[in-house]
Amino acid sequence: MYGLQPLSDDVSTLLYRTKGGQKCPLIVRTRGHRLEGIWHSGSPMGMLLNSIRGMYLCVPRNMTQAAGMYNTLLQSDDPAIVIECLNGYRLKEYVPTNLMEMTVPLGVPEIIRKGEDITIVSYGSTLRVIEEAITNYLEPAGISCEVIDVQTLLPFDINHIIIESLKKTSRIVFVDEDVPGGATAYMFQQVMEKQGGYKWLDVAPRTITAKAHRPAYATDGDYFSKPNAEDIAAVIEEMMAE
């Protein structure tokens, strides 16, 4: 939060204020999302979305995706924030043979699981919780889920990939670990209003967020403060029954 003011007032606006005369190709590498504790587990994405228009906001789900985003950003003159998954540092990943050359397009979501019944839109560490909900609860119940990783929040789905998924499933839920009215509300507005997603709905769209408080202490506190697999499965089962 101490670093937000110069990013919001100076870095984000420099290109506009100077009519393209000056650029600030700054890449802020930071970490966030799921861990534990009142300070370590916050996810104030709504604060960033409303403060740094003029910068890219990248939310990779793992370190491989992050590397691809850095390779993309290093070819650009635009500033960006990349929020790496804090609990992703503990996980092993396959290292691509082209790690130093691979790029990830910004503003283009990735469909990481194909399905027919419901579209689940999320990013970052929450995608692993969604996968747990699908594997343990939804798939055994015969519910086919299409999972979309937005990859970047600024820009957001420039090719309207999410709406194409919604046309197929007619159900959609937005999931993250920001507080209610944060990044899920932003994604909801982008898809429902800007992309006209309301035209394709069979049931009311939903958002699943953290509780409206700072994350509580310890593992059990984090579990109940943030969306867990059981919460996600319960909402989706309700939507399927609606």
Q: For residue range 158-183, what is the model confidence (pLDDT) as tens digits?
A: 999 999 999 999 999 999 999 999 99
CATH 1.10.287.10 fits 110-241, yes or no: no
Domain boundaries along the sequence of the chain:
4-90, 110-241
| pTM for the model | 0.95
pLDDT for the residue numbered 35: 63
- Provide the residue type at 37 as one letter: G
Nearest to 34 by CA among 176, 175, 147: 176
Structure tokens at 235: 């909402």
Please tell me what DSSP assigns to residue 217: S
Domain 4-90: CATH superfamily is: Thiamin diphosphate (ThDP)-binding fold, Pyr/PP domains (3.40.50.970)
Structure tokens at 6: 């110069």
Is residue 23 within 8 A of residue 32, CB to CB? The reply is no
Q: C-alpha distances in angstroms, 100 versus 48, 68, 71, 72, 103?
A: 28, 8, 7, 10, 9
4-90 and 110-241 share one fold: yes
d(CA 206, CA 120): 10
pLDDT for the residue numbered 87: 82
Is residue 175 within 8 A of residue 121, CB to CB? The reply is yes
pLDDT for the residue numbered 28: 97
Q: For residue range 119-153, what is the model confidence (pLDDT) as tens digits?
A: 999 999 999 999 999 999 999 999 999 999 999 99
Q: State which residues of the chain have pLDDT below 70.
A: 35
Mean pLDDT, the chain, integer: 94
